[in-house]
Amino acid sequence: MSGLVLLRAARSALPAALRRHLRTAAPRPAFAKELFLGRLRKEEVFPYPEINNEELEEINQFVGPIEKFFNEEVDSKKIDQDAKIPPETLKGLKDLGLFGMQIPEEYGGLGLSNTMYARLGEITSLDGSIAVTLAAHQAIGLKGILIAGTDEQKAKYLPKLASGEHIAAFCLTEPGSGSDAASIQTRATLSEDGKYFLLNGSKVWISNGGLANIFTVFARTEIVDKDGTLKDKITAFIVERDFGGVTHGKPEDKLGIRGSNTCEVHFENTKVPIENVIGEVGGGFKIAMNILNSGRFSMGSASAGMIKKLIEMTAEYACTRKQFNKKLSEFGLIQEKFSFMAVKAYVMESMAYLTAGMMDRPGFPDCSVEAAMVKVFSSEGAWTCVSEALQILGGLGYMKDYPYERYLRDTRILLIFEGTNEILRLYIALTGMQYAGKILTEKIKEIKKGNVGVALEEFLSKFQDMMGRKVDYGLVGERGVVHPSLEASGKKLEENIHYFGTSVKGLLSRFGKTIVDEQLVLKRVADIVINLYAMTAAISRASRSISIGLRNHDHEVLLTNIFCTEAYFKNNYAIAQLEKYADENLDDSIKKAAKQVLEKRTYICSHPLDRTF
């Protein structure tokens, strides 16, 4: 009996009510956007989300066999060296059901919730190539069918995708269109009889491009707009390799995740039946963004899983290797690295499971900003932690006999794909600023209309700020939701949120709509709000842990307090940088220096050995 059959059997013994389906109800705003208004919707994030005992039991049934498989059957060194995942490893992954983690059971998948998917991501991330192959297949490759496909499309495609008999790929990027996804040139032209589209164009860097049988392809289509004019809009298609005219290039020779297949995919007069349009003709861009938004949160648990493994590996080394007659673990600078890795792992794990928990709530809240924050925080955290882990090993860390250099190479991609961190910072900041701007404009309108209540509220708020207010959102104190041992962190968070809101208000009135061009400002805004969300997640989780007496809860409190204190001071500095005339604000100088370099397209300082004669 295969692993998948065993897991399914265990699962079907559970009450049907416990089985989850991907929720597709209308989105509603979630927690993060409110932070831009200086508001804390604590009911959204306290208490920290929990799963019930049955769900925990269920997920643990998956965890054991998958961990065993990764420990015993996956040879990551060989996958990296051969730049290929061996067929028997792929078969093992399929047998475990890992190609259909979030596909509903009625289509042969495991039907996991976002939380459960995040949990398994901690294990599958132990091999970067496998993690990317699985994510390209289900987090993006087949996700369009799941979230926007018709019942017929689901019934036709999902069963073979769930079993892994078919592999999926997501085809958006083109040579001239990377971050600017709306500028793609691949074209789909409707046939005269209106029965199919002819697809022509080339996609680049498509994960699973050489393995896939099913492609989600984004192409331009001509549509008649509401006003009767012809417009070019993007449409999403399900394309089978068997439709003909589908070819792919040779696998790219990459820095990392070398075992994952990345290649060009070409479509030449590929006949795609109209039944294979996903969603509406012309509605493809939104689908692409929804697909990407829905998968990003899982990078948090995946990165945390990897860092936890690195901590285990390097701690063993640090506690045995001796220099200067002392163990490495006795040196403060080595200890600092372990504290750093533990804090990062704890916070990204907290953010990931908070976001997954929010996404699993009925009503399917719009968590795209939260998910983007998890992605930015965890990708950068993973990259710095791997570098620190390698450093603990010194020269050995640099050698191919050890896995650290591979982890380093594999991790670098996290900052680039699924939306680059630059684009995501802009997305996070602009989405929140737009939300805040809309509500503040409404307020101003109300004040202009003579709404005394709103005017008074604004006046009092400004007055309290001037007088050095005591910020209180009710996180701490008698009826607070934060455990007393985290009181100082809770207060820091409250203060940061309040002054962040004030800062956003100031920026909106200073820049108005031109804020979209102020990228350095937006970056700082994004960095602050990412820290606020990270602080919230850690405080909420640690409060739960200490309240229910989880093992080592004191350690969680310690990590949370370290993180919150550092984040608080960083936030204060960033808030100061957002002030137009503050000494901390170096934006004009930074832009000027960059301009001088870019004008000459070179480093322009004289050499230190140059002299005037």
Catalytic residue annotation: 418
DSSP 3-state of 319: coil
Q: Measured between alpha carbons, how far is 108 from 87 in angstroms, rounded to an integer? A: 22
Do 355 and 300 meet the contact criterion of CB atoms below 8 Å apart? yes
CB atoms within 10 A of CB 569: 12
The reply to whether 423 sits near ligand FAD by the rule CB under 6 A is yes
Q: What is the CB-side half-sphere exposure of residue 574 using CA atoms within 13 A?
A: 24
Residue least distant from ligand FAD (Cβ): 178
Among 170, 243, 407, 533, binds ligand FAD (CB under 6 A): 170
The reply to whether 571 sits near ligand FAD by the rule CB under 6 A is no
Nearer to ligand FAD, 112 or 167 (CB): 167
Q: Which among 235, 233, 111, 92 has a CA at the least distance from the CA of 162?
A: 111
The reply to whether 237 sits near ligand FAD by the rule CB under 6 A is no
Do 330 and 338 meet the contact criterion of CB atoms below 8 Å apart? no
Q: What is the CB-side half-sphere exposure of residue 417 using CA atoms within 13 A?
A: 23
Q: Which among 169, 176, 106 has a CA at the least distance from the CA of 140?
A: 169
127-156 residues near ligand FAD, rule: CB under 6 A? 136
Q: Measured between alpha carbons, how far is 146 from 135 in angstroms, rounded to an integer? A: 14
| Minimum gap (Å) between residue 199 Cβ and ligand FAD | 15
Among 55, 67, 280, 422, binds ligand FAD (CB under 6 A): 422
Nearer to ligand FAD, 139 or 542 (CB): 139
Q: Across-strand partners of 240?
A: 214
Nearer to ligand FAD, 173 or 235 (CB): 173
Among 4, 112, 123, 172, binds ligand FAD (CB under 6 A): 172
The reply to whether 178 sits near ligand FAD by the rule CB under 6 A is yes
Do 281 and 221 meet the contact criterion of CB atoms below 8 Å apart? yes
| Minimum gap (Å) between residue 509 Cβ and ligand FAD | 24
The reply to whether 417 sits near ligand FAD by the rule CB under 6 A is yes
Q: Measured between alpha carbons, how far is 135 from 448 in angstroms, rounded to an integer? A: 51
The reply to whether 262 sits near ligand FAD by the rule CB under 6 A is yes
Dihedral sign for Cα 153, 157, 159, 164, please.
negative
Among 125, 173, 293, 368, binds ligand FAD (CB under 6 A): 173
CB atoms within 10 A of CB 603: 7
Among 2, 60, 81, 179, binds ligand FAD (CB under 6 A): 179
Nearer to ligand FAD, 180 or 401 (CB): 180
Q: Which among 404, 427, 606, 408 has a CA at the least distance from the CA of 519?
A: 427
Among 416, 454, 516, 576, binds ligand FAD (CB under 6 A): 416
Span interacting with ligand FAD, options 85-93, 115-123, 298-306, 419-427, rule CB under 6 A: 419-427
The reply to whether 202 sits near ligand FAD by the rule CB under 6 A is no
DSSP 3-state of 478: coil
Among 31, 46, 205, 317, binds ligand FAD (CB under 6 A): 205
Binding site for ligand FAD (CB under 6 A): 136, 170-173, 178-179, 205-207, 254, 262, 413, 416-417, 420, 422-423, 519
